[in-house]
Amino acid sequence: MSFEKSKNVEGKSGGRLKSVYFRTFGCQMNVHDTERMLGVLKKEGIVAVDSPSDADIIIINTCSVREKPEEKTYSEIGRYNFGNSKYNSHLRKKGKRPIIAVTGCVAQQRGDEILKRFPYVDLVVGTQNIGQISELVSETFLTGRPIVKTEFPNNLQIESFPRKQNIYTSFVTITQGCNNFCSYCIVPYVRGREISRPIDDILNEIETLIEGGIVEITLLGQNVNSYHDPNEGIDFPELIRQVSTIDGIYRIRFVTSHPKDLSHELISCFRDIEKLSSHIHLPIQSGSDRILESMNRGYKRAEYIEMIARLRSVRTDLSVTTDIIVGFPGESVSDFEDTLSVMEEVEVDNSFSFKYSQRPGTAAANFDDVVSLEDKSERLEKVQDLQRRLTMKSNNNNVNSTYDVLATGQSAKDPKEITGRSDQNKIVNFKGEENTIGSVVPVKIKKAHNNSLWGEAI
Ligand code: SAH
Ligand code: SF4
Ligand code: F3S
Ligand 2 centre to CA of 135 (Å) is 31
| Amino acid present at 259 | P
The DSSP output letter for 59 is E
The binding-site residues of ligand 2, defined as CB within 6 angstroms of any ligand atom, are 178, 180-182, 185, 187-188, 222-223, 258
pLDDT tens per residue, range 13-59: 445 899 999 999 999 999 989 999 999 999 999 999 999 988 999 99
| 357 CA → ligand 2 middle, Å | 14
> What is the tens place of the pLDDT at every residue in 246-282?
999 999 999 999 999 999 999 999 999 999 999 999 9
User: Residue 91: is its pLDDT beyond 80?
Assistant: no
Taking each continuous run of H as one helix and of E as one strand, the counts in the chain are 14, 20
pTM for this predicted structure: 0.92
- The closest residue, in CA terms, to atom 3 on ligand 3 is 27
Which residue ranges form the domains of the chain, and what is each CATH number?
19-149 (3.40.50.12160), 157-277 (3.30.750.210), 287-397 (3.30.750.200), 402-457 (2.40.50.140)
Ligand 1 close to Cβ of residue 185 (< 6 A): yes
Considering every ligand atom shown, identify the ligand nearest to the alpha carbon of residue 69 and give its number.
3
Q: What is the arithmetic mean of pLDDT over 161-167?
A: 66
Classify each residue of 30-68 as buried b or exposed e, where b means 16 or more C-beta atoms within 10 Å of its C-beta.
bbbbbbbbbebbeebebeebeebeebbbbbbbbbbbbee
Residue of 87, 27, 35 lying closest to 63 (CA atoms): 27
Give yes or no for residue 192 CB within 6 A of ligand 3.
no
Residue of 178, 285, 295 with the most ligand 2 atoms within 8 Å of its CB, for mutation = 178
What pLDDT, on the 0 to 100 scale, is given for residue 3?
46
Distance CA 367, CA 346 (A): 29
Task: Report which of residues 86 and 130 the model is more confident about.
Answer: 130
Angle at 34 between CA 33 and CA 40, to 5 degrees: 90
195 lines ligand 3 (CB under 6 A): no
How many whole angstroms separate alpha carbon 98 and alpha carbon 107? 19
Is any ligand 3 atom within 6 A of the Cβ of residue 27? yes
What does the pLDDT average to over 183-208? 96
